[in-house]
Amino acid sequence: MTSSDYWDAEMARRYDEGSAAMFAPEVLEPVVDTLAELAGDGAALEFAIGTGRVGIPLLERGVRVHGIELSQPMVDQLREKVDATHLPVTTGDMATTVVDGEFSLVYLVFNSIGNLRTQEEQVTCFRNAARHLAPGGRFVIELWVPGIRRMPPGQNAVPFNVDDRHLGFDTYDVVTQQGTSHHYFRNDDGSVGYGASNFRYIWPAECDLMAQLAGLEFESRAADWHGTPFMADSESHVSVWRKPVDAALPQTERPQRP
Ligand SMILES: C[S@@+](CC[C@H](N)C(=O)[O-])C[C@H]1O[C@@H](n2cnc3c(N)ncnc32)[C@H](O)[C@@H]1O
Q: What is the pLDDT of residues 158-208, one digit of tens each?
A: 999 999 999 999 999 999 999 999 999 999 999 999 989 999 999 999 999
The ligand 1 site (C-beta within 6 Å) comprises 2, 4, 7, 48-50, 53-54, 68-71, 74, 93-95, 109-110, 112, 115-116
Residues 43 and 89 in one domain: yes
Least confident range from 9-18, 36-45, 127-136, 230-239: namely 9-18
241-247: average pLDDT: 93
Residues 208 and 98 in one domain: yes
- How far is ligand 1, taken at its centre, from the CA of residue 93, in Å? 9
pLDDT at 211: 98
10-32: average pLDDT: 94
Say if 138 falls within a structural domain: yes
Query: Is 253 a residue whose pLDDT tops 70?
Result: no
Say if 2 falls within a structural domain: no
CB atoms within 10 A of CB 234: 16
Report the distance separating Cα 135 and Cα 243, nearest Å.
5
Query: Is 23 a residue whose pLDDT tops 90?
Result: yes
Residues 16 and 115 in one domain: yes
Query: Of 65, 108, 61, 111, which Cα lies nearest the Cα of 89?
Result: 65
Q: How many domains does the chain have?
A: 2
Going by alpha carbons, the residue nearest to atom 18 of ligand 1 is 93
Structural domain for 176, as ranges: 149-196
